[in-house]
Chain A
């Protein structure tokens, strides 16, 4: 497999993508589908427009896209969602943990309660999903997990203590899991996006945005497709010898 067969890099693979309603998750779901993957498209809330869109997309391309709803803040919902995926008895080739939240506040303005809440959404829930799904992958003796970290998790970012700490924790988990799960033929990698054009970065203070752009080589925000393409690379066999890595998709900030 080298991409020469019409760019269908995920032909016949089954992928779970979380956070599919918009932003990076949405772009990833669409790109994966166009590359031949069947998808469990996980979102927080049921949404009619979303369901109509994925029905059309799935018809147009000829892949299955199944919506799965759960709120990352609710463990019971999360488990129920994962159980419906497991109940399908399908092989799970790829898990992309996109869903998450951002939080902007200085360290001394961040309550411990808020800190724990952000960790619940941006770290523990991802770990819980990963634990559940990699059990299935280990049985299959194959799999591929991709976590969305952030350059904030590598460089730090003033005003993002909770968010950046979660994203750093995800990197630690990624590297450890790459080592623990390699015997089961499961690869685990992360990407670290920089400033990407999404709703999530729209409330980034202008000062922080200017500071990041001044450090950036490419001097523009990335678009969600540019992140989705890197996820496609990591999800596909193009990266079959890449594991435990964090790939910065940041236009050259670091």
Chain B
């Protein structure tokens, strides 16, 4: 029970890595605000069952990262609970694949809005709460695309690289308040996002380049997020951990 009694905000919880993070965090004793874009009965039922089974509280919060007003409203409901926030996992985001010369400026702004500015807005609000309670751990989900640069992923990679830079700066700015900030750079992970955005040939090629010769599972990313969120990593801040099977 590595997160017993801690309160965590996790974004992008409807599926993939985010859904898995909620599961691992709940099973390890964390109470969770599970942020998703859209309300669905299936999701609410799932979160409800998970909460009961794990004996924690899981509160769904709905907002669209493309809509600042919705983000603000969502965070207000979290603030209204007057609970301490110990952990923020910025997981939500979108992928985008196109060659640089085929990427319009409007698309650039749209992707940065969702993958970067929205995370910044949310982080700014949450940090205020963490500073008041003099402690916290922020985990940003970046990507190996941010570190390596991949053909066709200039925009996605740049938005994730911006997140890394912010992670490092926040680690410095917030250490005096006992807030740690780290990032994870997943490689190719078995999620809908990867399946829907990458061709089989690209997926196979990436797997071939990796040491482990397989895709990662969402649980393998979620376990690293738990490590960074927990006190196991109390002397780690400003770092980016590649979870990529050795790319």
Contact = CB atoms under 8 A, between A and B. Distances in A.
Nearest to B242: A245
B212 to A, nearest CB: 5
A252 B172 contact: yes
Contacts of A218: 175, 235, 237
A92 B220 CA distance: 23
B219 A2 contact: yes
A56 to B, nearest CB: 25
Given A2-B24, A7-B2, A252-B171, A247 B226 contact: no
Interface in B160-174: 171-172
Interface string B26-52: 011100000000000000000000000
Nearest to B186: A241
B172 A217 contact: yes
B58 to A, nearest CB: 15
Contact of A251 (B216, B217, B232, B235): B235
Contact of B171 (A194, A217, A242): A217
B104 interface: no
B235 A226 contact: yes
Nearest to B239: A248
A227 interface: yes
B5 interface: no
A217 B238 contact: yes
B135 to A, nearest CB: 12
A241 B212 contact: yes
B1 A3 contact: yes
Contact of B221 (A2, A229, A241, A243): A241
B233 interface: yes
B213 interface: yes
How extensive is the interface on chain B, given as a class? 35 or more
Contacts of B231: 229
A242 B232 contact: no
Interface in A145-191: 178-179, 182-183
B245 A3 contact: no
B234 interface: yes
B203 interface: no
Nearest to A31: B232
Nearest to A191: B236
B235 A3 contact: no
Contacts of A217: 171-172, 175, 237-238
B223 interface: yes
A27 to B, nearest CB: 12
Nearest to A221: B235
B86 interface: no
B224 interface: yes
B235 A240 contact: no
Contact of B246 (A6, A222, A243): A243
Given A4-B27, A178-B246, A179-B211, A229 B241 contact: no
A86 B211 CA distance: 27
B124 to A, nearest CB: 19
Contacts of B234: 226, 229
18 contacts: A3-B226, A4-B1, A7-B1, A218-B235, A222-B235, A227-B235, A229-B234, A230-B232, A230-B235, A233-B227, A240-B220, A241-B244, A242-B224, A242-B243, A243-B245, A252-B172, A252-B175, A252-B238
Interface of B: 1-2, 24, 27-29, 171-172, 175-176, 187, 211-213, 216-217, 219-224, 226-227, 231-239, 241-246
Given A6-B1, A247-B236, 11 more contacts: A2-B223, A4-B24, A179-B211, A229-B231, A241-B217, A241-B243, A243-B211, A244-B211, A245-B241, A248-B236, A252-B175
9 smallest CB-CB distances across A and B, nearest first, come from: A217-B175, A182-B211, A241-B220, A226-B235, A4-B27, A252-B237, A222-B235, A252-B238, A244-B246
